[in-house]
Amino acid sequence: MQSTQSEIVFGFHAVESVLRNDPVNVLQLMVEKNRHDKRITQLVDYAKSQGISVDYLKKTDLQKQADSHKTQGVVIRYKASAKIEGHSLEDIMQKEDVLLLVLDGVTDPHNLGACLRTADAAGVDAVIVPKDRAAGITSTTRKVACGAAETMPFFQVTNLARTLKQLNENEVWIVGTAGEADISLYDAELTGKLALIMGAEEKGMRRLTRENCDQLIKMPMAGQVESLNVSVATGVCLFEAVRQRSQL
């Protein structure tokens, strides 16, 4: 049985994305009183056309709905059980030249949202994360992702090592990132069926994850810092893969 639990989504881009992509699971749209600009009006009109109730609240009351976060004037109540339909990881991994992003233990919802946004921009087919000790889709994730959380196939798996073995059995080349690797990002081949693994913010990849990689790569660091924020590193690696794939 699916849960009927709902979550709060706030921020204009996140709200608009949910409304456009999954209006049937939107329970309520809340709008700041006295906001009549064109973008808000269009959003309200679209919500009403989908049969979604619209309520107007004072700015302070709207912020309370979003736990005092900046709402940009709009908040929705959304079924937390809603999923992207028509996708399964088993089907996606069969795709020719599939590109997957695996996040091993990324716990910051801001970083997850940024990674989803970058993955969408890079044409990633799906994002995979472990269920335990890792961030999931939250209102903060949705806001940072700017719409990608509603369109990017996102899989939380119980056993990441087992999933990586399944990918390998389906001829997906698994590349992990590690500071001590010998191969530079720019010397690695990132074409074909590929899963790129980014480790946690502080500890990097776990041992079992590392053992299931076909190759470890590193980003050349010219300065004094030893590593980049995981969302920045994800962007660098994904767009190197995009560059290589575009030259085929």
Q: Per the annotation, where are the binding residues?
A: 199, 228
Please report the beta strands in the chain, taking only residues with DSSP state E, as ranges in sequence order. 6-10, 26-32, 54-57, 74-79, 99-104, 126-130, 154-157, 173-177, 183-184, 194-199, 215-218
Q: What angle do CA 114, 116, 117 make, to 5 degrees?
A: 65
Amino acid letter, residue 14: A
> In the numeric block, which tokens belong to residue 91?
């089907």
Bridge-based pairing of strands 173-177 and 194-199 is: parallel
DSSP code, position 199:
E
Considering only CA atoms, which of 98, 97, 130 is closest in space to residue 112?
130
Positions at the binding site for S-adenosyl-L-methionine: 199, 228
64, containing H or E segment: helix 59-65
Distance CA 228, CA 219 (A): 9
Distance CA 103, CA 135 (A): 10
Q: Would you say the C-alpha torsion 210, 151, 145, 55 has a positive or negative sign? A: negative
From edge to edge, which strands make up the β-sheet containing 215-218? 154-157, 126-130, 99-104, 194-199, 173-177, 215-218, 183-184
